[in-house]
Structure 1
Amino acid sequence: MDVDAYAAAHRGEWQRLELLLKRNRLSGPEADELVALYQRVATHLSVIRSSSPDPALVGRLSALVARARSAVTGTHTPAWRDAARFLTVGFPAAVHASRYWSAGAAAVSLGVAWLIATWVAGSPEVQGAIAAPEEIRRLVEEDFEAYYSSAPAGSFAAQVWTNNAWVAAVCLVSGILIVPVLYVLWANVLNLGIAAGLMASAGRLDLFFGLITPHGLLELTAVFVAAGAGLRLGWTVVDPGPLPRVQAVAACGRATVGMALGLTAVLLVSGVIEAFVTPSGLPTWARVGIGGLAELAFLAYVAVLGRRAVRAGETGDVRVREAGDHAPTAG
């Protein structure tokens, strides 16, 4: 192919594209012309790249096509802006939108845990079925407290964080099936109730709350938030509301799965408290106070930013241009 002749034949289109790119405002026909020229010049660049060794011409057309692509598709928001929007709008909106489900999961779970603890504490037969008397004695007198200092703080925090993040992710991702979420809640409630019951039967309930409260407030809140969001997603399958079922589940699913990143950060804070504050030599009131402040900070964050975002029409879903198009449906 004669590259010079090819360039001469299409130079007018290149110049016209450059002219349109220099304008701040375009009319409707000019915008259509810009898109058409962008597609043509991109084809020209492909042809010249495959047949011409001229780097100057290839470089000029590459720059022109890149400028046209930005004009046609728009520039992408910097990643830090996406992260900031997620933390100030998307995540708190998603948590706030599922608050009733999360509160329900928390109320039922804590109620069942209290019943289990009462049953275990008041029944020697149940305690005997759980473990041998010597094992229970070692648990309440040594192992329960020693667990929090059983590994170096850094590695212990990483282990706790990974485990809790996995639990939250299971609730969020498998929420559409409902049953896995109920299983996770039951496993947590059972462990919590049995531990509280055994400690209460030995008269060490003060130690139990002194160790579990600093990190447990935020940790359990994150688990209940994940469970509530997962159950809400599962119920959307049953009752999609005014939207078509596929569209409703897709929107709720994107918001729910997106919460995993935010809850991972929350559980990181909880894991740090569990590794560095819970086993520390601080007095009980100080350790519990740190956990209480972390919990209040998270609740205030959701209440303020989440309510504001929801009132502005946010749901925690991705923005419209990122969600894709939907086929029109009869109302």
Structure 2
Amino acid sequence: MSVSAGNDVVRQSLASFRLEREADWTNFETLLTRAEKRPPHLLSEDELLSLPLLYRSALSSLSVARATSLDNALVAYLEALCLRGYFYLYGARRGLRQRIGDFFLHDWPHAIRDLWRETWVSVGLTAVGTLAGFWLVAADKGWYDAIIPASLAGGRNPDASAEMLRSVLYGGGNHFLSGFAAYLFTHNVQVAILAFALGFAFALPSVLLILMNGCVLGAMFQIYAAKGLGFELGGWLAIHGTTEIFAIILAGAAGMRIGTSIAFPGELPRMAAAAHAGRIAATAMVGVVVMLLFAGLLEGIGRQTITSDTARYAIGGAMLSLWIAYFYLFRMVRHGDS
């Protein structure tokens, strides 16, 4: 057989192949283009049923085209068509905006609600640590330096005058105030991250960090309360503190969930229990980062511009109410309406 005769046979095979199957390719491409431009629920039942059938037909055509070494342009066309079909039928069809919406509307609140036991334990540990720090400094001033390093105290210690402590709370751009506020925010971010990251060690580091954070809070309150400025300090901290401390509590709860799941896996294998707890805790921790960013904005703006105790407590109370409603009440209202 001559070369020209062989080429004629190939061309006839290609033409026959196209004649038999090209209508299906065209239908699949047209239907796929329409499906990519509209939500699935707007497609008809026949269109939804046709998509996987036409996709399998295109895959079969691609297999034949590759095996028989047909026209390279045809093989490339079928590969691109099958790839589009695969991503539409089996790929993640949710866009970035929808995934972010799902996180804030469902995933994050659900994870926080799932951690309710650990959250209450973390609240209790914070309260115990605060009372312990307050009592220790009240009983012996030396405990203040043991809890809060002198290099970061910036002169705020049990021997500081009421005027100096008050200037910190209402000094606006005061250098001491800026340094101390930055220390508090940095300290709380570090505690939140460590309380989560070290939770795998049977939750003990998370428990100790939450207790220590409470001790810092209690020690600070004691020196202000001793000068009659406890209420004023509470307002100064409330603007960002209700968000910041709540975030630390949740981070501690996430760390404790991982640690207790490893220590007490129940009926699941230890690694499976840790993996399940890790997914919930990680979701909660992503949200904790969001809360800390909010706290940083509130601290940066409120500390400089708001000096009214009433306004400070109002903002702090409103933020705490907002977080509680978002995590725990929104689901109840939504279910009640459904």
- TM-score of the superposition, structure 1-length normalised? 0.73
**In the alignment, does 2:103 pair up with 1:86?**
yes
Match of 1:232 in 2: 257
Q: Distance in 2 between matches of 1:128 and 1:247?
A: 44
The alpha-carbon distance between structure 1 residues 70 and 219, as it changes in their structure 2 partners (threshold 3 A), is same
Work out whether residues 175 and 234 of structure 1, in 8 Å CA contact, stay in contact via their aligned partners in 2. yes
Closer, same or farther: CA 294–125 of 1 in aligned 2, 3 Å: closer
The 1-side partners of 2:279 and 2:131 are apart by 34
Distance 1:232 1:149, change over 3 A: farther
The alpha carbon displacement at 1:260 in A equals 2.5
- Taking only aligned residues, the RMSD between alpha carbons, in angstroms, comes to 4.2
Correspondence for 2:238 among 196, 201, 213: 213
CA distance in 2, matches of 1:103, 1:122: 28
Task: Give the corresponding residue for 1:64.
Answer: 81
1:108 to 125, 129, 149: 125
| 2:42 paired residue number | none
Q: Partner letter of residue 170 of structure 1?
A: L
Matched positions, count:
303
Give, in angstroms, the shift of residue 62 of structure 1: 4.5
- Tell me by how many angstroms 1:306 deviates: 4.8
Q: In structure 1, how many angstroms separate the alpha carbons of the residues matched to 2:63 and 2:180?
A: 55
Residue 212 of structure 2 aligns with which residue?
Answer: 187
Give ranges in structure 2 of 5+ residues lacking alignment: 1-5, 32-45
**Shift, 1:256, TM fit:** 1.0
Q: Structure 2 matches for 1:90-239, cutoff 5 A?
A: 90-124=107-141, 126=143, 136=157, 137-138=159-160, 141-142=164-165, 144-145=168-169, 149=173, 164-177=188-201, 178-239=203-264
Contact 1:240 1:249 in 2 (8 A): yes
Tell me the alpha carbon deviations over residues 168-208 of structure 1, each in whole angstroms, 9 at most, x when there is no partner: 33333332222332343133123212212222333332332
Aligned to 2:329: 304
Q: CA deviation at 1:294?
A: 0.7
User: For each residue in 1:129-151, what CA deviation from the matched residue of structure 2 results, as whole angstroms up to 9, or x when unmatched?
Assistant: 7769x762448624853797457
Distance 2:168 2:68 in 1: 72
Structure with the greater relative contact order (CA < 8 A, sep ≥ 6): 1 or 2?
Answer: 1
Cα distance in 2 between the residues matched to 1:308 and 1:116: 39
Aligned to 1:315: none
Query: What residue identity is the alignment partner of 2:205?
Result: P
With normalisation by structure 2, the TM-score equals 0.71
Structure possessing the higher radius of gyration over alpha carbons: 2
1:275-315 residue CA offsets vs partner (Å, 9 max, x unmatched): 2113434410111101110110110011123557999xxxx
Report the secondary structure of 2:93's partner residue: coil
Higher deviation after alignment, 15-24 or 225-234: 15-24
SS of the aligned residue for 1:24 comes to helix
Residue aligned with 2:239, SS: helix
Q: Residue 252 of structure 1 corresponds to which residue in structure 2?
A: 277
3-state SS of the aligned residue for 2:265? coil
Equivalent residue, structure 2, for 1:325? none
2:297 to 272, 284, 308: 272
Q: For the residues of structure 2 that align with 1:125 and 1:155, how far apart are their CA atoms?
A: 22
Separation of aligned partners in 2, 1:70 and 1:103: 44
Counterpart secondary structure, 1:172: helix
The residue that corresponds to 1:77 in the other structure is: 94
In 1, the alpha carbon distance for the partners of 2:156 and 2:296 equals 27
Match of 1:41 in 2: 62
1:237-268 deviations in Å (ceiling 9; x for gaps): 22234444333322221121122222222222
Give the fraction of aligned pairs with identical amino acids, expressed as a percent: 22
